[in-house]
Amino acid sequence: METVEMNSVSLKHPRSEDDVANADEIKRQKILEKSKTGNDSGQSIETVTEPPEDMKNEMIPNEESEEQEEEELEDSDEDGDPESFADMMKHGLTESDVGITKFVSSHKGFSGILKERYSDFVVHEIGKDGRVSHLDDFSVPVDDEVNFEDPSEETFTVLSDEDKQRLEELQLFKNKETSVAIEVVEDTKEKRTVIHQAVKSLFPGLETKTEDRDGKKYIIAYHAAGKKALANPRKHSWPKSRGSYCHFVLYKENKDTMDAINVLSKFLRVKPNIFSYMGTKDKRAITVQEIAVLRITAQRLAHLNKCLMNFKLGNFSYKNHPLKLGELQGNHFTVVLRNITGTDDQIEQAMHSLREIGFINYYGMQRFGTTAVPTYQIGRAILQNNWNEVMDLILKPRPGAEKGYLVKCREEWAKTKDPAAALKKLPVKRCVEGQLLRGLLKYGMKNIISAFGIIPRNNRLMYIHSYQSYVWNNMVSKRIEEYGLRAVPGDLILKGATAVHIEEGDVDNYTIHDVVMPLPGFDVIYPKHKIGEAYKEMLVADNLDINNMRHKIRDYSLSGAYRKIIIRPQNVSWEVVAYDDPKIPLFTTDLDKLEGKPLPVLPTDGKFRALKMEFSLPPSTYATMAIREVLKMDTSIKNQTQLNTTWLR
């Protein structure tokens, strides 16, 4: 097996027609230019950039208009410059910048279009029991016990928007009122029951009673147990025979997992931290995964199917445990590459190689950010304990364009170094820049460590994990360049959870698929050959001690780990199909099947050809790296945007 150097082949990532149809409120423009670049098969490919993150296909809330406006402000480019993202990407990263330089297959690359429609990329979660998550059932489980947590359909419409606002403020102790009175206009026992039920189910922690006032009936909502009721609002009404967690399958389109959780929590009026899941999923895709939520009934969750776009919830069940990150066995991918140009032989060679050899287990480009300041640089500064550099990298002006308010904020910071003044230029405070500025305002410029600590922990750790990934990518490229696709003495393999070196006499017992490489950190060992020395040299160049990766701040101490250098996907299958219309789907989704939508009839001799592939991957591996191996392409956004200055908004 031979290794092949990387050639620069771009992949078309346009914004699709189905995106546009659901985003009338979003600014957009048509593509004005297309460029072509050659690949190593001598063919050309049209290239269009992936649209910026602010071009989101939003869910449309029925009752959350103010919150939706806030979200739109956060995700919009204030200045509306149609070339800003392309300009920014000219200063972004290429694969070679983060150590992604090798291929393991020998076939010639060919062109194709990934994610022309987000529905061309479908991810199904694989649970720890090996079961693939599917959305195939909207029914709600029936309990032996009936309680106020199971609202009728009328519950969701009986209260006015004004009533809901007052009740929410009461529930959260946001005003001085001790109760809220709701007049019963149609005074019947049934109507009063529905209002009681609505208040208790939509606003956990509140109790209700009926009162006569001046000859009129009122439902009075109040806190039964003060703030204790808010701390554990559903304890009093949840049946003991029912599991505390409602597990459900979430089907989502063009939204990442945390955004989806935030939307669900807003509609349910609960905190996002009562949701749990096993892994985060791609944004620009259709994804299906399991979610668990504490003491919210299946009936309340099922109602959201009528309120939200691009979400569907189903396969409800009650269990006694939440979900934990990392518990999943992996993900199953269904990917369509449109307008492929490879010959049948090239496609067969590429797919056979993917199935038999696999691909280099690089960390994908999304691990390193999209702007001129890569996340690994910030991670390196944290590990170096260089906090002025951390602050500077996050806040200083960056080459290229960004969202207008970020540009103004950075300019103000560069001019004044005044966190209050810079913060005033920032209408969105929840971004990393806003959080750091708030921290500097609170703790002062001489306490950057505490100011940085205001940023959520997962975001802070993302930076140092990005640095680990950067080192690993570079080292695995050196390992393959030096020793090829075979196990050699001094390589590392895992025996259980322990890494051991391959000895000279045992090398024939192992293949490249057994070999692992360390992520730098404490309590790991390194290969006993040239690559072990290369690790040390790389960290020395970064002013880090490979033998002492413990940080004085515990959170930033790098615990090491091991990662396989070659991944061989499981359940690999593929077919080539013909089509004429690029807007039609080429396979049915879970939702299509539930709604009884037939698969369009495809022509046998269509103008275009598409490669439909399926494969399963373990956690923490990147499908884009598998697709990169098939097409022999550079997956960086910079590589695409260098060829175009406009894209579909």
Q: Please identify every residue annotated as catalytic.
A: 282
Return the number of other C-beta atoms located less than 10 Å from residue 180's C-beta: 23
Return the number of other C-beta atoms located less than 10 Å from residue 504's C-beta: 8
Query: CA of 173: how far to CAs of 169, 179, 513, 604, in Å?
Result: 6, 10, 58, 65
Where does residue 111 fall: left (phi above 0), alpha (psi -120 to 50 degrees), or beta otherwise? beta
**How many whole angstroms separate alpha carbon 50 and alpha carbon 638?**
10
Nearby residues of 116 by Cβ (< 8 Å), 6 or more positions away: 12, 13, 14, 16, 338, 339, 582
Q: In the numeric block, which tokens belong to residue 24?
A: 């009338």
Query: CA of 437: how far to CAs of 46, 335, 426, in Å?
Result: 42, 41, 10
Amino acid in position 381: A
Dihedral sign for Cα atoms in the order 21, 23, 24, 27: negative
**How many whole angstroms separate alpha carbon 136 and alpha carbon 191?**
35
Amino acid in position 365: M
Sheet strands side by side (includes 498-501): 498-501, 492-495, 515-519, 561-564
Q: How far apart are the first and last CA of the chain?
A: 43
Nearby residues of 635 by Cβ (< 8 Å), 6 or more positions away: 11, 95, 364, 365, 624, 625, 627, 628
**How many whole angstroms separate alpha carbon 554 and alpha carbon 559?**
10
**How many whole angstroms separate alpha carbon 642 and alpha carbon 479?**
30
**How many whole angstroms separate alpha carbon 31 and alpha carbon 45?**
16
The per-residue DSSP string of 298-364 comes to HHHHHHGGGT-SSEEEEEEEEES----TT---EEEEEEEEES----HHHHHHHHHHHHHT-EE-PPP
Q: How many CA atoms lie within 13 A of 90 on its CB side?
A: 12
Q: Answer whether 406's CB lies under 8 Å from 368's CB.
A: no
Dihedral sign for Cα atoms in the order 6, 9, 15, 18: negative
The H-or-E segment that residue 493 falls in is strand 492-495
SS3 content of the chain, % helix, strand, coil (to 5): 35, 20, 45
Query: CA of 264: how far to CAs of 22, 39, 50, 150, in Å?
Result: 19, 44, 27, 18
DSSP conformation class of 433: H
